[in-house]
Chains A and B, each alone.
Chain A
């Protein structure tokens, strides 16, 4: 497993800050969308299945993004 990204200078700190701000926005919007689906959706089973599939795919992509960030040499 790739170790967590550790910023080592100012540029890397700024890049990581921007990255995590974007991710925070992404997570917020995702949670709102999933909340609306689970709260107002007629079929709870469908909503749960869609949520799990979405969370699985996005978790994979998030790990890939963090790995890419860690691989950047400043």
Chain B
């Protein structure tokens, strides 16, 4: 500090006032770096001008909040946003107080006083001084006006002031309680009370804070081990170059607990609902079985001959039993759809077969309403990569819906073709001449439990889950489903399924074939059942499916591909394309034979197996041939080999003749 020579020569104002002893009462708000600095500054001033002739009483308002005792005090809060004390007022008051310390300082040590004033005006020190009959009083405050201070002290949230590096300048008791601090938290970095993994995020918020408010959720460390979820509300205030942060700390553990309890109870309810649905579907099955059995006993005239009327009534009963059966199945399906457990077993399958089958089995119910139901399918419809049972389920659902919503003597047409916009998909369409759908219905029709407002004659409503399940099944098989419809102009339901393509299956092996000296072999695993007749026959689908699983278990994920079941004529066989040299192929063949034999021994399926392989005559890969072209060439080679394989049935018969 500059002390001018002029000031030194002048008679100190204190002395001219004739007082020889000074009692000074200093108020500070917490032992913050600022208040302590202000205090030591004042002590120095007193030391210089009053030597031994003064007594300093320091009152920490944070420890003994008796602000009322200092009726002269004008507090200038810095903890909360505060009115900065107008410098003019301070100067004016100070000029009136000749006996007063700072007045003395102004007269005697201009520079030093200027420094204090600067500190006051920039908010580093808040001070106001007034003469008093007994003593001059200097108040340096970093606190707040009493009502606000009391509010801060008693509130249920933690309230703090931080320096912009996170050092705690002020904290109310609640915060200290939250973190279970044994000693004063003032002077400590706030970061210390946040869990380590969130400290960087906190620092980022501080660094970013150039002004204004923000909030975020953090986790406080409380005591040794406890953690408290909190919401921190930051308010950054710039005061003369340095920033101070007001921080409000709200304990949100209760909120979190409530949220968690809510989520748990939601899950529990879902579980109970699923369990209930599964239980209901289970319990309905036994009585339904008995009803079906006795109705079919009557219908088959096992209990005596029927007249035409009785037969008709029994057939109506049977049809309703089937409906009920389908609904019970749907009940379980919807639980599965919701929990992601709908299963699809993808294989190469014929959409033509599925569509024709559904159309044929739906002819009777369409006939009852004199609806003309037909399939229009072009020749050479490609196979799709889908689950045949699920495909039938989707088409059947759409056709049954169409029958329900098409008035008597209308028509329904099922079509299929390669999608024009994407040749990798087959587009299936079910069109009807029914009542059509309102736009708002079109929007919601695939939603779960949505019921189309039914015209009176359409009869029963059903469960409202058929189209939802259709949508889930189509999605799960890689396709899309949608509807085009206008009221009075019928509806056209569309869905797509990926077309089966050999090259998409072979593609993942191309890299291995390129980078290695490996060659590729095509394995043919054949099975035939020669039980009973002595003549070899294609085994039932169920066994073929299981055989595929056995074969699948023998293969290596990156090197072998089990080619999908192709649906027509080859169900007794399965093909594996393997990236392998001579030795590898022998190993795979051995493994296949062993596993199939083991399976046969445990299940006694009555099947006989054959495992054969040929190495592919790979087309040369030259820099000129692109990867795609090479893949196409390999695909053609594989295709030719598969198609040249005679069917099991033919082969077996030839064997008999030989």
A and B assemble together: no
